[in-house]
Chain A
Amino acid sequence: MTALATGQPATVRATVRHTMGMPVSVHVRGPRPDGGPVTAAVERVFDWLAQVDRLFSPFRPDSEVCRLQRGDLGLVDADPLVREVARLCDRASARTGGAFTALLPGPGARTGFNPTGLVKGWAVQRAVDDLAAAPGLAGHDVLVNAGGDIAVRCGSVAATPWRIGIEDPRDRSTLLATISLRRGGVATSGTAARGRHILDPATGKPVRTDLVSATVTGPDLAWADVYATAAFVRGRAGAAWLATLPGYRGLLVTTHGSLIRVGQA
């Protein structure tokens, strides 16, 4: 058990559901993590993620993203959330020099709008922000882990930080490093879990990279997610680019087994 800055005992409760095709763990730490208000707020996290899945899932034929890809829906008629994500994707592409892109080969090998590389981080960051601001959550610390992308917020600057381990992609039962975080996100892009699923925007094929994984941490999980994907695509040469992004730090694992730390540890 940890003690809060006020000296009250704190307990932590985790709720796990499977949504968006992945396990999502919501941890709440504080004086009353089992109480009615917290339980209701945690339910709203899963409701939000279900809504995101209905709009954005590339595996649901009736999602707005799939309908956009097929040409059955125009972006101007899409849900405001979809349009917001599309704008973010444009900014992400600009900020990463094209290493991140939402224009990817889709059904029938046509290039179409696929924001999957940004949606998860964006959705989880929103979930954590809403959860931390919900009634009954004052004085509580929250963490959401969606399949390895993590966002956290603590209720006070004196709170015990959340400890986040970075999995070693070469041996997924051990950790490379741990990060202490009171507010922000950690995202990892790589091939260890799902194989060569990240496409190179230049070729449309699985990216040929000298990295096994790229982990990025910073104030906003949506951007950490984008930068992790972009860093992975760029390879070890991208470490210098990553260093130019204020507020974001990274850990890259190369195919030769070496670690590259970008930014202050």
Chain B
Amino acid sequence: MRRITTAVMATVTTLVLLLSYRTSLGQGATTSEPAAPEGTGSSGTGNGTVVTPGEPDSSEGSATGLTDGTFTGDAVSTRWGDVQVAITVSGGLITAADAVACPSGNRHDREINAYAVPVLNAEVVDAQSSAIDAVSGATVTSDGYIESLQSAIDAARA
């Protein structure tokens, strides 16, 4: 159960982060290293997007450069079926991330999906709004790590 959740979460997290770049640039370009996008003004030494100077910002005045709306990513094949993620952008921020295609068939897969999506929603909304590198909390054991936000961040930087 946990390994499946890890794979689904890591895949979907990575996919959502890639999607956020795609929508903000209006291009097919993706970075080779899907770090969480940084909010503007967080530091003076540079910013977290790959928009080159002079390129028109395709957003409608939102600080993060994301256009409002709902965007569905390509289906990603996982061992347990195809997973597609739809993100909803409102006010320039990702406010929801939903899996729209469940791995088909059995009850086990439906359980996986029901577990993974609510956790992912909170992670995406919180992680991308604060662009964090690490999470401090009561000691996570190795068992608990797999389901943790830290593991999603670490996987994106492996």
Q: Is B25 an interface residue (CB 8 A)?
A: no
Most buried by B among A15, A16, A23, A187: A23
Chain A residues in the interface with B (C-beta under 8 A): 1-5, 11-16, 18, 21-23, 25, 27, 120, 143, 145, 147-150, 158-167, 169, 171-175, 178, 186-194, 213, 215
- Contacting residues, chain A, for B35 (C-beta < 8 A): 1, 12
In the complex, the chain B residue whose C-beta lies closest to that of A215 is B136
Q: Are A150 and B140 in contact (CB under 8 A)?
A: no
- Contacting residues, chain B, for A193 (C-beta < 8 A): 137-141, 144
In the complex, the chain B residue whose C-beta lies closest to that of A158 is B45
Q: Are A166 and B133 in contact (CB under 8 A)?
A: no
B3-58 contacts to A (CB < 8 Å) = 31, 33, 35, 38, 42-43, 45-46, 48, 50
Q: Are B158 and A16 in contact (CB under 8 A)?
A: yes
Q: What are the 9 closest A-B residue pairs judged by CB atoms, nearest first? A: A3-B46, A167-B137, A23-B145, A14-B157, A190-B138, A173-B122, A165-B132, A193-B138, A192-B138
Q: Is B78 an interface residue (CB 8 A)?
A: no
Q: Are B158 and A14 in contact (CB under 8 A)?
A: yes
Q: Are B138 and A213 in contact (CB under 8 A)?
A: yes
Chain B residues in the interface with A (C-beta under 8 A): 31, 33, 35, 38, 42-43, 45-46, 48, 50, 118-119, 122-123, 126-127, 130-142, 144-145, 148-151, 153-154, 157-158
Q: Take A175-B126, A175-B132 as given contacts and tell me if A160 and B150 are in contact as well, using a CB distance cutoff of 8 Å.
A: no
Q: Take A2-B38, A2-B46, A175-B126 as given contacts and tell me if A27 and B134 are in contact as well, using a CB distance cutoff of 8 Å.
A: yes
Q: Take A3-B45, A160-B43 as given contacts and tell me if A145 and B137 are in contact as well, using a CB distance cutoff of 8 Å.
A: no
* Complex alpha-carbon distance, A4 and B150, angstroms: 24
- Contacting residues, chain B, for A150 (C-beta < 8 A): 134, 136
